[in-house]
């Protein structure tokens, strides 16, 4: 019987992948993934075989990965960042479960976008933080706003994934309005696009001005807590060492 590795590939470039993830990519019979990520991997690896599909085809990819593994193949199902954070690990395990299969599955962690983005900005998430996706494809809009409210009220650093898409633009402005009820307009905000891969950009701004910057689906936004400050181009959330 084959095996399924659910593998986070980190931000994208090989240098920020773990050694274990590289080994799995190199040694698997077939890599299953979303078009964009397979293209990124092909820049760094000679892939033996691939099964590629587009956006919103997550369920199909997982079923294909299972079928391939059941036919005896070693399969790497890849997602960007960490496969366990807004990635494919949950869905893949659910599909194995639904099938009643006892195929072996191993989850390999990766560097998620909040870590990669934070490293580019300085040290904005040194303290308690909340990670919230604004995508309302799979989550009720009200629940998203309730989470933004809770995180803002308890002074969490807030990492926002999927802030905007071509068809979904209002959510981010709403989220910002909610945060502004609890935090000053001068609260630092980091906006990072394509962290640690081609086209990377990182900007530090504040709540008042954040909507004036380019933001899309591959942007991660980090909103500081009440103590976050900016110094010489670095966004820093102190942890109370009392310097």
Site for a second copy in 157-216 (CB under 8 A): none
* Residue whose token pair is 């954070």: 85
Cα 197 to the chain's mean position, in Å? Answer: 13
**Binder among 73, 77, 80, 86 for a second copy (CB under 8 A):** 86
CB atoms within 10 A of CB 13: 17
Nearest CB to a second copy, comparing residues 49 and 59: 59
Q: Which of residues 2-21 bind a second copy (CB under 8 A)?
A: 8, 10, 14-20
Angle (CA) 161-164-165 rounded to 5° is 120
CA distances from 217 to 48, 134, 160, 187, 214 (A): 30, 10, 11, 23, 11
Both tokens assigned to 29: 């019979």
C-alpha distances (whole Å) from 141 to each of 91, 183, 188, 216 are: 21, 22, 25, 18
Binding mask 45-64 for a second copy (x = CB under 8 A): -------------xx-----
Q: Could you tell me the smallest distance in angstroms from the CB atom of residue 127 to a second copy?
A: 7
Closest CB 165 distance from a second copy, rounded Å: 16
Chain residues 102-121 in contact with a second copy, contact rule CB under 8 A: 107-112, 115-116, 118-120
| Binds a second copy (CB under 8 A): choice among 27, 35, 71, 94 | 94
Out of 32, 65, 126, 191, name the contact with a second copy by CB under 8 A. 126
To a second copy, the closest distance from the beta carbon of 114 in angstroms equals 8
Q: Output the CA–CA distances (angstroms, integers) from residue 32 to 12, 190, 214, in the order listed.
A: 16, 32, 31
Q: Given the rule CB under 8 A, which of 30-38, 101-109, 183-191, 201-209 is the region that contacts a second copy?
A: 101-109
Interaction with a second copy in 131-160: which residues (CB under 8 A)?
A: 131-133, 138-139, 143-144, 146-147, 149-151, 153-156
d(CA 109, CA 160): 20
Q: Are 180 and 187 in contact (CB under 8 A)?
A: no
- Give the end-to-end CA distance of the chain in Å, rounded to a whole number: 57
- Give the nearest distance from C-beta 41 to a second copy in angstroms: 14
Residue 236 binding a second copy, by CB under 8 A = yes
């Amino acid at each position: 019987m084959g095996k399924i590795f659910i593998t986070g590939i980190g931000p994208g470039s090989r240098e920020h992948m773990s050694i274990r993830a590289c080994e799995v990519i190199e040694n698997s019979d077939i890599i299953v993934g979303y078009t964009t990520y397979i293209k990124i991997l092909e820049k760094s690896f000679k892939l033996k075989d691939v099964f590629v599909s587009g956006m919103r085809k997550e369920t199909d990819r997982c079923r294909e990965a299972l079928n391939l593994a059941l036919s005896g193949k070693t399969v790497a199902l890849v997602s960007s960042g960490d496969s366990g954070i807004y990635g494919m690990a949950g869905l893949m395990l659910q599909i194995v479960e639904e099938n009643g299969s006892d195929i072996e599955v191993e989850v390999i962690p990766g560097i998620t976008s909040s870590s990669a983005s934070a490293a580019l900005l300085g040290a904005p998430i040194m303290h308690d933080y909340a990670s919230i996706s604004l995508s309302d494809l799979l989550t009720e809009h009200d629940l998203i706003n309730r989470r933004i409210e809770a995180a803002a009220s308890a002074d969490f650093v807030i990492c926002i994934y999927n802030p905007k898409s071509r068809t979904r633009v209002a959510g981010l402005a709403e989220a910002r309005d909610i945060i502004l009820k609890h935090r000053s307009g001068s609260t630092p905000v980091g906006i990072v696009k394509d962290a640690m891969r081609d086209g990377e950009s990182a900007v530090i701004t504040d709540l008042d001005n954040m909507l004036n910057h380019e933001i899309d689906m591959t942007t991660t936004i980090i909103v500081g807590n009440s103590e976050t400050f900016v110094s010489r181009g670095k966004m820093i959330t102190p942890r109370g060492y009392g310097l």
